[in-house]
Chain A
Amino acid sequence: MNVWPRLLRRKPMEAIAIALIGAGFAMLFQPFMLELYSYSFITLLVGTLMFIVVSKFPE
């Protein structure tokens, strides 16, 4: 029996990480709001670290 929690499976977690990276990337290069630019790096960093970790999770 697979005891790994359903929410912590690779697919949904990877989707969240990818969304964070995408959002961080857009925030870093967008020309509209300086505040968004300021929070871009932390968003990118969390997304990237999360992606590295969750890509090792079971399917």
Chain B
Amino acid sequence: MLKTPRRLAKKVEGLSDRAVAWLFIAPTMALLLAINIFPLFWAIGLSFTNYRANRPNEAIANVGLRNYERILTDPDIWIAMQTTANFVFWTIALQTVIGFGLAFLIDRKFRGHAFWTTIILVPMMLSPAVVGNFWRFLYQPQIGLFNYIVSFFTGIPPSSFEMLGSVQLAPWAIIIVDTWMWTPYVMLICLAGLRSIPDYIYEAAEVDRASPWRQFWSITLPMALPFIMLAVLFRGIENFKMFDMVNLLTGGGPGSTTEVASITLKREAFEKWRTGYSSAFAIILFVAVFGLANIYVKALNRVKQR
């Protein structure tokens, strides 16, 4: 059996359990403060200034609420917010419906279900950079497989439409890729929810002659709901920050059709170098996501208590 080294044992001898617990937590707390909390407060401070990161020696002036005022009266940023809302709504709706459907099927435990679970999970394990690049090839109008599949089913000539170059289709191209990549994640969380439902509840329902449809609406869905809500929360927060996929596939184009808030933020921060302004923008997005997450967690707790 391993023993605590004598020197260490002597050092912690007089400490209470609480103090020992704090000792264990302290390094993580320090790291969190350094890489999460401190930058947040630093960004709040910067959001009231005209600071530019590419001109570090220039005098920094306090501009008060002017950055916030500009962002909140800018029609271009307003449109970027709507684009973001559109992406978040459609990706979450599709991922939740398909993810839950897949989890429901996988939960049937048919022959080879473990193999198919692994196959379904593959997209989630890939790097977004890889996914973005190969979907760009798939969407190529001349050689891309996607256009040929659409052509096969609809009869539309493959080179007659361009997924990434069309104003109407480009947002859907990104929604399709995000759904393809992250539906397995939603499926995994929903599957955990479905597997946590005890069999005896279904057995009791069978005894009461409840139909499969009735079992689904009265047992499966209510009991898996906290897990579904958790998946929606995680994907919602993540999709508000959606950047890599949009940047790789369309870069915000054509025009500004797919310019989500994070792309605008990156342009302001690292192309125009308006650090103070972009900090204010980041704080607005943070407050929006934080506020929503708060009420969402409240709703989640209420569902769990039921």
Q: Which residues of A contact B (CB under 8 A)?
A: 14, 18, 21-22, 24-25, 28-31, 34, 37-41, 44-45, 47-48, 51-52
Contacts and interface: CB of A to CB of B under 8 A. Distances in A.
Q: Which interface class (under 10, 10 to 19, 20 to 34, 35 or more) fits B?
A: 10 to 19
B137 interface: no
Given A18-B298, A29-B85, A38 B72 contact: yes
B295 A29 contact: no
A52 B72 CA distance: 24
Given A18-B298, A29-B81, A29-B85, A38 B73 contact: yes
A24 B78 CA distance: 14
Interface string B76-94: 0010011011000000000
Contacts of A39: 72
Interface stretch (B95-103, B141-149, B204-212, B284-292): B284-292
Secondary structure at the A interface, as helix, strand, loop or mixed, is helix
A31 B288 CA distance: 16
A39 B78 CA distance: 12
Interface of B: 68, 72-73, 75, 78, 81-82, 84-85, 284, 287-288, 290-292, 294-295, 298
